[in-house]
Amino acid sequence: MPGIRMVDVAEDVFVLGLEWVNRKSVQVLLPGVSEVMEAQDSDATDGVGPDCCEDAVLAEFSVEQDDLLSMIGVEIAKMHITDIIHGDLTTSNMMLCRGEKDLVLIDFGLAYYSLLVEDKVVDL
């Protein structure tokens, strides 16, 4: 989770300043990205399929697909063990830093606290 940099509570206003996360969205690192991105990748590789590009992007981040999926599972487990439900858990809300095996979950705008296992399952 990004670090909290500032909290300001004024009359009827709550401002939360978070650390800027300069990373790549996991959405573009895993197979199954949007058709638009696949088309762009195909154009960039002169007709070589998008799977080739995805492998190249993963290699650029020094991570294997299975390792990335494990990292996602670990971060979700950390969150759910503390009974935090993300509420919008998608690959576009997961960021990976190039050269580091460090995954960050972002966009906790719909997050809430719950002890219910069902809420955690829905989060997945």
State how beta strands 24-25 and 103-105 pair: unpaired
Which one of the listed residues 88, 102, 107, 123 is annotated catalytic? 88
Please give the full DSSP string across 76-120, using - where no structure is assigned. HHHHHHTTEE-SS--GGGEEE-TTS--EEE---TT-EE---HHHH
102 is known as an active-site residue: no
Tokens for 90?
């998608």
Catalytic residues: 88
